[in-house]
Amino acid sequence: MTRSKAESSPNPRDSSGALAAVRAQVEVHPEVPIPEDATADESLPPVTQLRRFDTHRLLPAKYSVNYESVLTRIADNDEHLQQIFELDNATNTRLEAEENLRPGITQRELVFNVPNYRIINAAFTHPHPLGARFSTSERGAWYAAFELATAKAEVMFHKSVEFAEINWSEREVLQYDEYLADFTGSFHDLRPEALPEEKPDEFGVCLDPASYIASQKLSVELLADGSLGVIYPSVRRPGGTCIACFRPSVVANVRKGSRFRMTWTPNRVVFIKEGSLAAGESASKPAG
């Protein structure tokens, strides 16, 4: 007797636990290589089918919606503050992109009316003036790490570089919010285990600790090819894994995690979860 479609598919309302069992299997085996496509561009990295929950992104807490704006420090009164906000919004690239006024990304690509959509859109519409590893100055990406320790290491490195560029040597205390996100889809993969055995170092230049030239060139090619993004080994933390997602709609289930306090000095950087001094919740390393 042939089973009906309803009988062969997990029922979300089924109390037998079948759906939970399926999810458990996916979580145990989150990544599955996609069979080779004869028409795939061999000059691009291989593709992995990724299903990853709770990736970590650390953003300055000043971008949180309930964080007091730095503009309040220069406002004389509420009316003056409103005028300053209007002036600031007039040059806000996220707002421009949401009105379809930016060349690097279209309004149709952005997300709306989902939790933290402004945080998601900002990642793509406020690119660094010099770009980042897999994004250019015209279009950003959602960068995250598979491990919290990797996200911390990335922030520590880049903040140290930022202070070194202006020759800053004073102690700084900064707050960061953790944003968790889930990913499901086909991503190009630069991890050693995903690369062909005969070409293990083919894309090694894209992981150059001192240069983004090759990686940015690859990101432009991947975007043109319709890529969702790149999974790659962290350059700042050995053994860590990062993801650069190119598409706002693929950044799923974004929600806040913990708040951290980073204390920076030229010789040491310490990350501590706010409200806790437990050694297991801190991370530190020499600056630079």
How far is the C-alpha of 246 from the C-alpha of 219, rounded, in Å?
9
Give the dihedral of Cα atoms 154, 157, 159, 164; nearest 10 deg: -160
Q: Are strands 172-189 and 252-265 parallel, antiparallel or unpaired?
A: antiparallel
Burial class, 44, CB count within 10 angstroms (exposed 0-12 / middle 13-18 / buried 19+): middle
Q: Is the pTM of this model over 0.85?
A: no
> Do residues 154 and 243 make contact, with C-beta atoms less than 8 angstroms apart?
no
**Looking at residue 90, what is its pLDDT?**
44
Residue type, 190: L
* 169's tokens: 């040597």
How far is the C-alpha of 46 from the C-alpha of 126, rounded, in Å?
29
Closest CA to 34 of 169, 136, 185: 185
Q: What is the largest CA-CA distance in the chain?
A: 78
Q: Give pairs for 239-242: CB < 8 Å, separation 24+.
A: 240/145, 240/146, 240/147, 240/149, 240/150, 240/153, 241/145, 241/146, 241/147, 241/150, 241/191, 242/143, 242/144, 242/145, 242/146, 242/150, 242/154
**Looking at residue 198, what is its pLDDT?**
81
**Looking at residue 92, what is its pLDDT?**
56
Q: Taken in order 23, 24, 30, 32, is the CA torsion positive or negative?
A: negative
DSSP state of 132: B
Closest CA to 116 of 249, 255, 244: 255
**Looking at residue 9, what is its pLDDT?**
40
**Looking at residue 11, what is its pLDDT?**
42
SS3 30: coil
How far is the C-alpha of 41 from the C-alpha of 23, rounded, in Å?
32
> Do residues 152 and 160 make contact, with C-beta atoms less than 8 angstroms apart?
no
Please count the other Cβ atoms lying within 10 Å of the Cβ belonging to residue 224: 8
**Looking at residue 120, what is its pLDDT?**
96
The model's pLDDT over 134-173, given as tens digits with 9 standing for 90+, comes to 999 999 999 999 999 999 999 999 999 999 999 999 999 9
* 166's tokens: 């202006």
> Do residues 133 and 127 make contact, with C-beta atoms less than 8 angstroms apart?
no
**Looking at residue 196, what is its pLDDT?**
87
Low-confidence ranges of the chain (pLDDT < 70): 1-40, 65-103, 275-288
